[in-house]
Structure 1
Amino acid sequence: MKTMSGVQQRNSHRRLFGAVIVAACICLVVSVYLAREWAGRRAYEDLRTAAEESLALQIEALTGVMEKYRLIPALLSRRQTLRGFLDGSSTADEIEVVEMLRGIAAASGARDIVLADPAGKVIASARSLTDTGTIERSKLPEATMQRRLGRAALELDDGTRAYAFASHVAGADGANAGMIAVMVPFGAIEANWSLSSNPIFVTDTREFVFLSNRLDWLGKPWQASASAPNVEPLSFAAGDFVRVPADRTVRYIEAARTIPNLGWTMHVLIHAEPVATARRNAGWLTALAIILVTVSVLILIGRREMNLARARLEKAQNLRLERLVRDRTAELSTVNAALRNEVEVRREAERQLRETQDELVHAAKLAVIGQMSATLSHEYNQPLAAIKTYAANGVRMIEREKTDGLPDVLARIGQMVDRMSALSRTLLAFSRKPGTKLQPVAIDEVVSDALILIGQRARKAGISIVSDVPAGVTAHSGKLRLSQVLVNLVGNAIDALRGENETAPAGAVIRICAAMEGGRVVLSIEDNGPGMGASVRDRIFEPFFTTKPVGSGLGLGLSVVDNIVRDLNGTVRVETPGPGGGARFVIELPAEAAAAEAAE
């Protein structure tokens, strides 16, 4: 084999060195260009995404504020006081109307609320910040005359800017009696935007800026506008970026979107300096990497001259590599063993999880059983008390040898036993939440049956029960369940009137009323007791919630009432009759079978 001389080897290495340097220079130029473009595009996309996200948040916030005020004029135009004031049919004077408008403006945060005639002449103003000229120049009267919602950006008398929503006000004969306008303040919106270092602004359909955190931009066109051809716009395009005349060296990335229902366009600008920074950093890093690679290649080429002298070193390197492979194999074996152990641990965790789930299912079943038992205990107390009373009356009849009424007493005890059996079935149905067969039920009969159970208890406590249920009031319901609802509500009223005493104060009364209202039967149970606070009313129908002392109740009665009424396709609510206290439970049930089916 022919070998090269030392001079030939050195010449070959020099040529190779030159080729590597030329290739490195070409690669450096191409790689730096591609890296700068890639980094710049990625930074641009990131900033564009950030701008779009900021834009979406700002649009959502602005739309929420404007939507609240947009509905106010239409709602106020329906007020009889304002309509009557405009068409002259109301006795209210201007002072009363202004006070009303001031209260509404204070509650809503509006800058001003104005009443004007159809031509735009201001008749009343909440804060006297809007004059007739302002309304007429805004063209709001033309919009309201066409029964449209008027919109316009205004400058108020105190120099502040506001956006007006206006709605027509119809008179008694349906004609246009005037208009009402609500002024939305811009100050709070711009104050929030002022916290951002990025320009945020809104343009109208003419591309003029009317809302911004840059005050010097207000009233100027963002882009060239046909409505102002001689006015220099605030921006001009620079490729994918925009620039502003105030500082032509600064580039921005713009995100803009039209705001629904308002016809505005919101813009968010983000400083594009990070794009230049990313391009510059990517260029330097790529150049450094290419230089390092080139130096490494040159070093490797230089070392080729030492290959013959390093033959023994290569053998040592091979042995080192073999040891490295052996060590890596041992490490992989250890990792595999650890993975197998982790798999076993996870299998054990899954097994324990399944066992825990089974225990939770079992606990849930026990909770349901406990709730049913507590409910049966609560619902049996009242029939058992009645049975005890009738049994005591029967004993007294036997002792006094007045047995004529004994069959009636025994019959009533039998009825209570039947009712307890029916209550058990009903409570079981409540626990399972099934449907129930509904049929026409006379409300006066249901009230009479309920008073059989609870009347004696009321009389013992010195409480009068007044029933105002006319004959013929019929609900599409279930007689037994509706009777159970009445017993629970009247029993609660007795407990509220009596408190912790055996008897109630003098004048304690419970009123039961029923009436037909628009295809519905409205049944109310009202007492003149101490009533209840708002916190109690919010939780009154929750299971196991009670205000009674420990041992006096389970807190299930009103929960049962709520569920039964729902099964009967009705509703139940609690009210306060008046400032004197008391409580009123109002039950609404369908009066006809068709109404019940519609409720379902």
Structure 2
Amino acid sequence: MRLKFGPRGLGIVVFLIGVAVLSSVVWRYAVQHGMAQLSARGSADLALASDRLVGQLQRYRDLAVVMADHPQVVQVLQQGAVPDDRALLRAVADRAAALDVMVVDRTGRVRAAAEDGAGNAGAGAFVRRALNGALGRGYGPHDAGVGRSYFYAAPVFGPQGGVLGALVVSTDLASVDYAWRGDTPPVFFTDGRGQVQVSNRSELIFWRKPRDAAGLRPPTGEVPALTVHRSGRHEIWQMGWGPYLPQEALHLTQQLPVIGMTGEVLMDIAPVRRLAASQAAAVAALCLAFGALLFLATERRRTLTLANAQLEERVRTRTKALRDSNDALRVEAAERTEAQLALARAQDDLVQASKLSALGQLSAGISHELNQPLMAVQSFAENGVQFLERGKPQRAAENLARISDMAERMARIIKNLRAFSRQETVQQVQVDLGEVMASVLDLTQTRRASMGVTLDYTVPQAPVWVRGGEVRLGQVFINLISNALDAMEEASERRLGIEIVQGARILVKLSDTGHGIKAPEQVFDPFYSTKDIGAAKGVGLGLSISYAIVHSIGGEIRAQNTEQGACFTVSLLPIEQAEAA
């Protein structure tokens, strides 16, 4: 059966092969790097163990050299041993933790010893070296009943410089490696014959190296399995030597010529391989995760491409219908554009007509506001003429002054109306609200009297200073009072109330007994009016203008219905004389 792969399947296979190759490279590099670090650590551990062993053995060498010059040792070789000599040697052996301390003459016979001299059994070569004048060292056979003996022999020189004999110090190597037995990693030291003398693994003691092969062999029994191979410049032992030895280890050696031994260490490489496998697995996992994301993104892009192709096909099928619909809409849009232009021209004509009507109403208002001052001027002028005919010039001067005041008042009214028409702003100054209200009541006195309106108003005892303009405030209150009088034309009871409330803000409340307000929320909108349309009636601009004036000086104006009629409240900002100055 032959498997067939499409382009996507072939890409996945190539990607997996690449991940496998990359993981293998990472694993190999991690193993080599880990082996280098393991070798450095093993060399350090071996050097530390070697220094420890050399240091422990060299103190016995120093003891042999020092005791060889002792006078009592020379006396033993010249005159023979006495009981005190053995006591000296035993004391030295006990203090140095030596196996035995012996004095040997030139014939090799033990003249004095700390023990029974058994430590000298089979020890001949190193003694002969000492008798020749050099420092000797050597091992004792482990089957002689003295354990693993290590000897130092120092020559004893006579007064004439000749060699009288040798001082031999022996120690048991079992006591030397007791302090560090069990330390990791496994370390062992072999003598010149290749036999393990010292190790931190007791099972390796007395194992021997084969002459032309690597590894170790036990003194008796079956030879364990051992496979040796090299990984770069590293020597690897694969062995099955027991539970306390690694199955696969890095083998390192170090020569110790000072004590005539070779130090060797076995570094377990299983952690290195596990770490390398973990790193390779992490790289493989990252690559697979990235590949999975890339595959999902590719599949999504492929799906979107297919969907886009389907969408484009649908768009092409609908384009023709939309083009036909657009042609029809263009015709309809042209017709609607012509209709909108006609509607705009009609709206412009209506706005122009409304403007003309508003101008006519304002003209009527101007004539109404100036009529009373003009009548007053005429009256004061006639009175002045009569006072002059009667020889009362002082009274005539008073009438002329009143005429001047009326002229100034008409000038202010015209200035205010001109400001309204041109949207001018009048500087806000300190105004006495009581004087403004008195002027307004004076202007509306004639109409109130003709209508029989009762006025409820208490004149303030002191000036009430507010921020604003005298003419503008007067215009506001004239508009409010005029509207109130218009509302009470058909009322049975005609009462106008004015109240000034002083506080954080100055409140002026104007209430009437008219028909009220149909829509209080629209009463300040331009061109809103409840009066009949006509030349003598309103066009809905009075309250809108009053609203703009009050807000321009930082105040507020509100309208509401009451049980008797309507009430307008004007809120103004107070001003102190120091602030005005």
Alignment TM-score, normalising by the size of structure 2: 0.46
Asked which structure has the greater CA Rg, the reply is: 2
Alignment TM-score, normalising by the size of structure 1: 0.44
